[in-house]
Amino acid sequence: MKNSIFFCLAICLIGVVSCSKKDNASSFNLDESFTLGYNATAQLDNKPDVKIQFVQVTEDSRCPTDVQCVWAGRIVVNVTFFQNGTEQTGALALGDITGTSYSDEFIFGDYTVKLLNAQPAPKSDQSLSLTDYKIEVLVKKSK
């Protein structure tokens, strides 16, 4: 009986570890939007040498959804793109980027990454931690 319980626990533990690894692994297709959580990495389907990682939120001054603001604000995130053994980090922004060098697109080698959305939307009574953030991006061929 003890052996059966131990065996069942071992199988459950293996299942939990396997599931958690799958949750951290993600893939994407060109020209299809996908979501990346903070510090998550996604790999181009069928190209293990092409990856993207959401690495940092450098600014989030967006107006909370439950407040009326004079300025809409902006969010700026950094993503790192890996291609053929090289990596490059770039900033992507949404919101008011007037008078800045920010853009919602960044070219990484043969690919263009476009920031489509950033979640969650801020609320005045809520403090966000980095792990709360998710970005929606689109990757397409540049050339």
Walking along the chain (143 residues) 10 residues at a time, the average pLDDT comes out as: 43 39 66 97 93 97 93 96 95 93 94 97 92 97 85
The Cα 62–Cα 54 span in angstroms is 19
Report yes or no on 4 lying in a domain. no
3-state secondary structure of 126: coil
Has residue 9 been placed in a domain?
no
Contact indicator for 136, 34 with CB cutoff of 8 Å? yes
**What is the residue type of 64?**
P
CATH of residue 64's domain is 2.60.98
Q: How many domains does the chain have?
A: 1
Structural domain containing residue 100: 26-141
Contact in structure between 49 and 85 (CB atoms under 8 Å): yes
Burial class of residue 115 (count of CB atoms within 10 Å of its CB; 0-12, 13-18, 19+): buried
Q: Is the pTM of this model over 0.75?
A: yes
